[in-house]
């Protein structure tokens, strides 16, 4: 099996021992994230005091770049790996806390628009990726995994679909590697394209949420543009994430009908199990914020807590990206993913610009 993405196997160990295992990695995430924050402030100050023309590089980018440097030079030692893998936990906790900065009315307005865009994006992306997979003669289940990863939500969707359609480990490893590599590429190119096209914060945020596959990368790509764009990217990406159960269920039923996967029993239980619970947490916090459960200072404190959680996430995005491992995966799935991602990025950009003109957000 290819070893691009190491999904840590949970051993039956005592909870206290499990907690101790993650401490070094979490401290590493915090150290890298905080170093990114210090670099943002101090590099800017140093450049200013020396009258250099130097772009303001946000902590988001510093944290990712520092993580990438460590991962691709000395590597991440074994002792840190369990803790580094918690970056998804911090991402989801950060998204829930970010709900305090959204009033329910905003969610209903933007969520309504984004729901339509997300539905169009998912249908278009699934159809296009399936066609590409057939053109490139990829294995059908590999094509399914790539299609779900590109259309819905990256790694989580691939892992959920793999179990539901009985796909090979190798296929899911290929798909995850392609989605991660392309997510890293999007992270650096999307803000540049957004600035080049003079996209507003809202249009850019919605575009990043629609087109960048993995939630961590979508959050980072949004935050790299602006705070407002980051908020929107998270909202739209969460709407996409909410669709995961329906898409996986549809594929599970299809592959079961082909006799190549187990039949789906209780569909409601299946949907609930696949539904990302952090979306519910995000909505709950925003309902509480809407009805003034938190005062202004408390909303500020929750927003800052959310930023700290994202800081650890961004460090983790860099640390888990290893270009050498990605290269080992072979070119064809990557080529299909790359062509598909470019097409989806152009397609969703058109959707966002069209919707902006239509709905005037």
Partner 1 sequence: MSAETNTGQDKKPWRLSLDSWAVVVALLAALLVRAGVFKHIPW
Total length of the chain: 361
**CA angle in degrees (0–180, nearest 5) for 320-325-329:** 125
As measured in angstroms, the least distance from the Cβ of 286 to partner 1 is 11
Closest to partner 1 by CB, 215 or 322: 215
Q: Are the CB atoms for 257 and 227 separated by under 8 Å?
A: no
> Could you tell me the smallest distance in angstroms from the CB atom of residue 198 to partner 1?
29
Cα→Cα distances 28→58, 62, 68, 71, 207, Å? 19, 15, 13, 12, 32
310 vs 312: CA distance, rounded Å: 5
Nearer to partner 1 by Cβ, of 240 and 307: the residue is 307
- Closest to 130 in 3D by CA, of 111, 115, 149: 149
Minimum distance of partner 1 from residue 226's CB (angstroms): 16
Q: What is the DSSP letter of 3?
A: -
From the CB of 261, what's the least distance to partner 1, in Å?
A: 7
Pair 91, 221: CB distance under 8 Å: no
Which of 204, 209, 225, 114 lies closest to 154, judged by CA?
A: 209
For the CB of residue 203, give the shortest distance to partner 1 in the complex, in Å: 26
Answer for the pair 113, 107: CB distance below 8 angstroms, yes or no: no
**Nearer residue to partner 1 within complex by CB, 22 or 336:** 22
The residue (of 45 and 195) whose beta carbon lies closer to partner 1 is: 45
Q: Closest approach of Cβ 90 to partner 1, in Å?
A: 8
If phi > 0 it is left, if psi is from -120 to 50 it is alpha, else beta; for residue 160 that is alpha
Cβ atoms of residues 33 and 315 within 8 Å: yes
CA 327 to chain centre: 21
- Residue 124 beta carbon to partner 1: minimum distance, rounded to whole angstroms: 26
Let me know: does 310 contact 217? Beta carbons within 8 Å. Answer: no
For partner 1, the closer CB: 164 or 218: 164
- Which CB, 132 or 252, lies closer to partner 1? 252
Which residues of this chain interact with partner 1, rule CB under 8 A?
Answer: 88-94, 96-97, 100, 164, 252, 256, 259, 261-266, 269-274, 276-278, 280-281, 284-285, 288, 293-294, 297-298, 300-302, 304-305, 307-309
Q: Would you say 63 or 164 has its CB closer to partner 1? A: 164
């Amino acid at each position: 099996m290819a070893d691009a993405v190491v999904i840590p196997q949970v051993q039956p160990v005592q909870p206290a021992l499990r907690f101790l295992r993650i401490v070094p990695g979490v401290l590493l995430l915090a150290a890298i994230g905080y170093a990114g924050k210090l670099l943002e402030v101090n590099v800017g100050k140093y450049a200013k005091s020396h009258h250099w023309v130097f772009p303001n590089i946000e902590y988001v980018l510093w944290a990712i770049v520092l993580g990438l440097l460590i991962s691709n030079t000395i590597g991440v030692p074994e002792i840190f790996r369990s803790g580094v893998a918690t970056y998804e936990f911090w991402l989801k906790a950060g998204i829930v806390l970010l709900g305090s900065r959204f009033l329910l009315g905003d969610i209903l307005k933007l969520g309504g628009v984004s729901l339509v865009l997300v539905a169009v994006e998912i249908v278009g992306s699934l159809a296009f990726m399936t066609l590409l997979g057939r053109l490139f003669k990829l294995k059908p289940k590999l094509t399914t995994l790539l299609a779900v990863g590109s259309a819905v939500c990256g790694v989580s969707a691939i892992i959920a679909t793999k179990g539901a359609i009985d796909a090979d480990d190798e296929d899911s490893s290929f798909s995850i590697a392609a989605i991660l590599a392309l997510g890293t590429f999007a992270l650096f190119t999307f803000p540049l394209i957004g600035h080049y096209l003079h996209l507003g914060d809202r249009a850019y945020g919605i575009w990043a949420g629609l087109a960048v596959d993995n939630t961590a990368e979508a959050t980072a790509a949004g935050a790299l543009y602006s705070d407002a764009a980051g908020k929107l990217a998270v909202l739209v990406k969460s709407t996409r994430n909410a669709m995961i159960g329906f898409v996986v269920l549809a594929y599970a039923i299809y592959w079961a009908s082909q006799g190549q996967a187990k039949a789906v029993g209780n569909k409601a239980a299946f949907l609930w199990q696949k539904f990302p619970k952090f979306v519910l947490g995000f909505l709950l916090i925003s309902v509480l914020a809407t009805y003034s459960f938190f005062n202004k200072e408390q909303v500020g404190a929750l927003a800052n807590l959310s930023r700290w959680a994202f800081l650890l996430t961004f460090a983790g995005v860099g640390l888990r990206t290893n270009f050498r491992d990605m290269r080992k995966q072979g070119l064809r799935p990557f080529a299909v993913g790359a062509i598909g991602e470019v097409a989806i990025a152009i397609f969703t950009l058109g959707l966002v610009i069209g919707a902006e003109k239509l709905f005037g957000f």
